[in-house]
Every structure is written in C-alpha cells, then in structure tokens.
Amino acid sequence: MPKRVAEARAELLAKTVRSQQMADERSEILNSGLAANLEMPHPIFIERGEGAYVFDADGNRYIDTSVGFGLHMLGHRHPNIEAAIKQRAELGWMFGIHSTSQVRLANLLLDASPCAERVVFCNTGSEATMYAIRAARGFSGKDKIALFDGFYHGAHDYGMWMTDPTSPPDAPTKLPMGHGIPRALEDLTMLLPYRHPAAFELINKHQDELALVMIEGVQSSNPQPQVGDFLQELAEVCRACGVLFAIDEVITGFRVAYGGAQERFDVTPDLATYGKVLGGGLPVGAITGRADVMNVFTGLAADRGVFSGGTFSGNPLTMEAGSAAVTYLKDHPEIYADIDAAGDRLASEVNAFTENHQIPAQMKNVGSMFQLFFQREPLNSMRDVNTVNGAAEKAFYLHALNRGVLVPGTQRAFLSSAHKPAEIDRLIDVFQTSLADVHAEDLFGDRG
C-alpha cells in the first residue's frame, strides 16, 4: 500500500473506533444498501448534523457534501424546518387519511413546477417515478417506456436496467441491474442514447408503442450543464410523435432552480416527478403534470384510472417540513445565485488545479450538483466514463474523508445554502491536496 494512503487509512481508523465497533455489531443483524454508507476503510456512522456539517459516532466533524443525497438544500437542522416539525408533532404526526397539512405544500408545488396542474403525493422518488410510468401507461393505453443510458429513476423493477457496454453508442441495449429483475419486463423498456440525435429517431420509430419517455432533468451520474437544448428538442419530438414526456425532478426539483430543470432549461413536460428537497428532509415523493393525464389518479372508476396509495403518502410531518423548506426557498431567491456561484467556483478551482498539474481528473457540475471524474477525456454521457484510475479514485476519497470532507459513496455530491465561502475554501483545499497526494504516489493508471 502506498505510504500516504497507508498513513491516511491508519489515522482514519484511529479516530473512528466507535464506528468500527458499530460496523461489526451491525453486520450481524442488518444489511446495507449499495449506496447507504461509505466503506473506506469501514462504514462511518453519523450521529448528528448541523448546517454544512455532520458529526460521526466518534465525534469527528465533516463538511458534508452528501446532504442527504441532495435533499438538505438548506443544510442540516434548518431552524424553520425544525420548528415546523416540532409544531406538527404536538398535534399528532400520522393519521393515514388526508390531513390539513397537504394543501399548502401542494399549492407551493403547483406554483413552482411549470408543468403542474395537479399533484399526487407519495413517499419516495422511486414511488413517484413508478406511479408516473403507471399513469402514462394508463392514460395512453400503451405499455413500453423509454429511458436514457446512464439513468437512475429509482429502485423499482422498471428502472433497474443498465447499459450493455458492448452495445453501439447510438443504439444502447440493456442488462438487468442485479438479480431479481424479471426478464418478462425486458421488452417493456427501451434505452435511448443520452444527448445523441439518434434518440429522436428511435422515438419516432417506436412512437406507436411508447407510452412515455422519461429523463432526469440533469443526470445525477453525469451533471452536464449543456443539456438544455437536448431537453427542449426531446420535448418537441415527443409532442410531435404523440408520446408523453416526463422529467424526473427528484434530484433537480428545487435544487438547480426554484422551478427545477424545467425553469433552468426552459422546457415543459407532460409529467414531472419530485422527491428529496420537496420534503424538507423527510420522506416524500410527488407526481405533477397535465390535468388530463393526472386525472387517472382520481380513482379506478375514472377514465383510464390507475391505482395509487400508501399509508404514509402525504403524511403531516413531511407536508409541514416540506412547506417550511419550499416557503423559505421561495422567499429567498438569492439562494440559487449564491449556491450556483459556489458550485461553479469549486469546480473551476479544482479543474484549474488538475490542468496545471496534468492530473487526469475533472469536476463536472450544474450549479450545486457536482462530481469528480478521474479521467481527462471528454464526457458526453456515462458511456464515456472509464475506470482505469480506480485505485486513484479510491485513494482520493480516503484522503478527503481523513481530512474532514464526507463525499457520498455514489460520488454524486451537493452543496447546500449552509456551505458558505469558508466551507468552499476548505473543500477546494482538501480536494486539491488530496489529488496532489494521489498524484505524488503515482496511482493514476492514465497519464492523459
């Protein structure tokens, strides 16, 4: 093991003893999801959060770039959200039937989302995309859906596909993402090439089969700021072909703009799905869109009616927390300019450093969404990502964590409004120093 990596690993182990103990105890009774924790050199267990920081079981403080996988737009424990949760808890927090807390958040979402004429609440982003797919099938009477290579739309079976790396870039084919995905579903989902004109040809060719084309407002795995023209043309093609078009705003909603990717890129879909920021830190999902399409949710007796439901859907605690968060964002529009500038400064400084030192790495960002890729080659889609620098990447994140910066296990990172200039300065310093350490130990397999 390289000397600097070994030293960082030893330091991290020495100051995370309780996390090590918890990892050993937990492994006997509880399995982790793929993205649930950091595994370097063992899981880090978080005790509490405050603003831009989280504190682990051993009391170590980290600048948090996970912020709940992007949902804490205002940072941890924002006082307005905390007050709303406490006030609601004094009145009861779960009833199972409609509560007085739902209408306020629904109206805020109708105001923010350009496509929204109706709202349905559920519990997660995965549920939201699943229900949007069901609604499109019910409304259209067609069964097939189209998604884009590199996508993530949640953990339901219809979204559990990945691109076969041996397939042509302009005609991607798919493989199941792990076991347990019925092969019977394979013919109901097609992949389209991301940010490639061949996607429009495929939609036109299969328009009679397609109920829905769904795309992330910005791919969380590949944050590309130049996606606007592609989204606008995609909306036009779908409209011309009579295929419903949905933007998955689970991550981008209330993050890349108050009105999400729809506002930032000036595009209006037929349906949009939400999660994360909308819930103010509590579990949430939502589907919005055209009134005629959304009418399928009004009951099985409705024309083309579909089933939707969930015990915790629209629960009062989430509705109040979400209303507090969204209201604060609405009342403080300067947050978006500030957080975009912070993300751009972070990426610019890191990229200038890698260029000056000939390090094969680059940071991509759309405002406050960012990810570091360990290659010099251009990135258009996830098909362009290579893994030759895997050892360098793993060492980098170990150094960053040891220096007090937590990056989520997915490497898909975010800033919040609580990340002030001092935190951005520290992130730049830690990222540059950690890249220099990796470079000095010659861990990059790609010389660029």
SS (H, E, C) 248-261: ECCCCECCCECCHH
Question: What local confidence, expressed as pLDDT, does residue 297 receive?
Answer: 96
Q: Which of 299, 331, 363 is the last residue of a domain?
A: 331
Q: Kindly list the strands in the beta sheet with 244-248, ordered across the sheet, starting from the edge strand earlier in the chain.
A: 118-122, 285-289, 271-274, 244-248, 210-216, 144-148, 189-192
Query: Strands 118-122 and 189-192: what pairing?
Result: unpaired
Alpha-carbon span 248 to 190, nearest angstrom: 17
User: Do 278 and 222 lie in a common domain?
Assistant: yes
**Strand partners of residue 366:** 369
pLDDT tens by residue, 145-167:
999 999 999 999 998 999 999 99
User: Do 226 and 367 lie in a common domain?
Assistant: no
Q: State pTM to two decimals.
A: 0.95
User: Do 339 and 314 lie in a common domain?
Assistant: no
User: Do 186 and 206 lie in a common domain?
Assistant: yes
Indicate the number of domains in the chain: 2
User: Do 46 and 145 lie in a common domain?
Assistant: no
User: Do 67 and 167 lie in a common domain?
Assistant: no
Question: What local confidence, expressed as pLDDT, does residue 448 receive?
Answer: 46
Residue 446 lies in a domain: no
E strand segments, 24-70 = 46-50, 53-56, 61-64
Q: Which of 288, 304, 331 is the last residue of a domain?
A: 331
What is the extent of the structural domain holding 376? Answer: 3-76+335-440
Mean pLDDT, consecutive 10-residue stretches, the chain (448 aa), reads 93 94 84 62 90 97 97 98 97 90 97 98 97 98 96 93 93 94 92 96 98 97 93 98 98 98 98 98 98 95 91 96 98 98 98 97 97 92 86 94 93 97 98 97 75
User: Do 130 and 209 lie in a common domain?
Assistant: yes
Residue 448 lies in a domain: no
CB 258 within 8 A of CB 233: no
User: Do 229 and 284 lie in a common domain?
Assistant: yes
Q: What is the CATH number of the domain that holds 116?
A: 3.40.640.10
CB 152 within 8 A of CB 173: no
Alpha-carbon span 30 to 10, nearest angstrom: 26
Question: What local confidence, expressed as pLDDT, does residue 43 receive?
Answer: 83
Give per-residue burial for 339-359: e unless 16+ CB within 10 Å, then b.
bbebbbbbbebbbebbeeeeb
Q: What is the CATH number of the domain that holds 65?
A: 3.90.1150.10
> 377's torsion region: left (phi>0), alpha (psi -120 to 50) or beta?
beta
360: burial class by Cβ within 10 Å (0-12, 13-18, 19+)? buried
User: Do 310 and 435 lie in a common domain?
Assistant: no
Alpha-carbon span 126 to 66, nearest angstrom: 19
Q: Which of 310, 331, 352 is the last residue of a domain?
A: 331
Residue 83 lies in a domain: yes
pLDDT tens by residue, 36-95:
556 567 788 999 999 999 999 999 999 999 999 999 999 999 999 999 999 999 999 999
